[in-house]
Amino acid sequence: MAEVVHMIDSEVFLAFSTYATIVVLKMMLMSLMTSYFHLTKQVFSNLEDTALVKTTEDRKKLVRVDPDVERVRRCHLNDLENIVPFVVIGLLYALTGPDLSMALLHFRVFVGSRFIHTVAYMMALPQPTRALAFGVGLFITFSMAYRVLTTALFL
Amino acid sequence: MAEVVHMIDSEVFLAFSTYATIVVLKMMLMSLMTSYFHLTKQVFSNLEDTALVKTTEDRKKLVRVDPDVERVRRCHLNDLENIVPFVVIGLLYALTGPDLSMALLHFRVFVGSRFIHTVAYMMALPQPTRALAFGVGLFITFSMAYRVLTTALFL
Amino acid sequence: MAEVVHMIDSEVFLAFSTYATIVVLKMMLMSLMTSYFHLTKQVFSNLEDTALVKTTEDRKKLVRVDPDVERVRRCHLNDLENIVPFVVIGLLYALTGPDLSMALLHFRVFVGSRFIHTVAYMMALPQPTRALAFGVGLFITFSMAYRVLTTALFL
Judge whether B85 and A27 are in contact, CB under 8 Å.
Answer: yes
Q: Which chains touch B (3 or more CB pairs under 8 A)?
A: A, C
Decide: C124 and B47 in contact? Cβ < 8 Å.
yes
pLDDT of residue B68: 85
Verify whether the Cβ–Cβ distance A127 to C21 is below 8 Å.
no
Q: Give tens-digit pLDDT for B64-100.
A: 888 888 899 999 999 999 999 999 999 999 998 899 9
Q: How far apart are CA C31 and CA C33, in angstroms?
A: 5
Is B4 a residue whose pLDDT tops 60? no
Alpha-carbon Rg for chain B, nearest whole angstrom, is 20
- Measured between alpha carbons, how far is C25 from C22 in angstroms, rounded to an integer? 5
Q: What is the pLDDT, as a whole number, of residue C9?
A: 63
Q: State whether the Cα torsion C145-C150-C153-C155 is positive or negative.
A: positive
Is the pLDDT reported for residue C7 higher than 90? Answer: no
Closest CA to C82 of C150, C135, C28, C146: C135
pLDDT greater than 70 at residue C3? no
Q: What is the ipTM of this complex?
A: 0.90
Q: Is pLDDT of A143 > 90? A: yes
Give the nearest partner residue to B81 out of A20, A22, A31, using CB atoms: A31
Query: Where residue A142 falls among pLDDT bands split at 50, 70, 90?
Result: very high
Chain A residue with the nearest C-alpha to that of C86: A88
Q: What is the CATH number for C28?
A: 1.20.120.550
Helices and strands (H, E) in chain B, number of each type: 5, 0
Q: Phi, psi at residue A10, to the nearest 5°?
A: -95, 170
Cβ contact, residue pair B81, A76, below 8 Å: yes
**Which residue(s) pair with A44 in the sheet?**
A63
In the 3-class helix/strand/coil scheme, how is C49-106 assigned residue by residue?
HHHHCCCCCCHHHHECCCHHHHHHHHHHHHHHHHHHHHHHHHHHHHHCCCCHHHHHHH
Q: For C54-89, write each residue's pLDDT tens digit.
A: 767 677 788 888 888 889 999 999 999 999 999 999
Burial bucket for residue A52 (CB in 10 Å: 0-12, 13-18, 19+): middle
Q: What is the percent of chain A where pLDDT is above 90?
A: 60
Task: State the pLDDT at residue B3.
Answer: 44
Residues A84-105: tens digit of each pLDDT: 999 999 999 999 889 999 999 9
How close C4 gets to chain B, by Cα (Å)? Answer: 6
Contact check, Cβ <8 Å, C31/A127? no
Residue C134 is part of which domain span?
1-152
Confidence of residue A7 (pLDDT cuts 50, 70, 90): low
What pLDDT score was predicted for residue B145? Answer: 97
By CB atoms closer than 10 A (0-12, 13-18, 19+), residue B65 is exposed
Q: Is A36 on the interface with C (CB under 8 A)?
A: no
**Whole-angstrom Cα Rg for chain A:** 20
Tell me the chain A residues in contact with residue B141 when contact means C-beta distances shorter than 8 Å. Answer: 28
> In 3D, which of C130, A74, C86, C82 has the Cα closest to residue B44?
C130
Of C5, C127, C155, the CB nearest to B51: C127
HSE-up of A88 (CA within 13 Å, CB side)?
Answer: 32
A44 phi and psi angles, rounded to 5 deg: -135, 160
User: What domain count does chain C have?
Assistant: 1
* Chain C residues within 8 A of A85 when measuring between CB atoms: 24-25, 27-28
Residue B140 has pLDDT above 50, yes or no: yes
Are the Cβ atoms of C71 and B9 closer than 8 angstroms?
Answer: no
Whether residue B124 lies within 8 A of chain A, CB to CB, comes out as: yes
Give CA–CA dist B119/B124, Å, rounded: 8
| d(CA A92, nearest CA chain C) in Å | 6
Q: Would you place residue B9 in the very low, low, confident or very high pLDDT band (cuts 50, 70, 90)?
A: low
C34 vs chain A: nearest CA distance in angstroms? 11
- DSSP 3-state assignment of B44? strand
Helix (H, G, I), strand (E, B) or coil at B63: strand
Provide CB contacts within 8 A for A126, sequence distance 6+: C48, C51
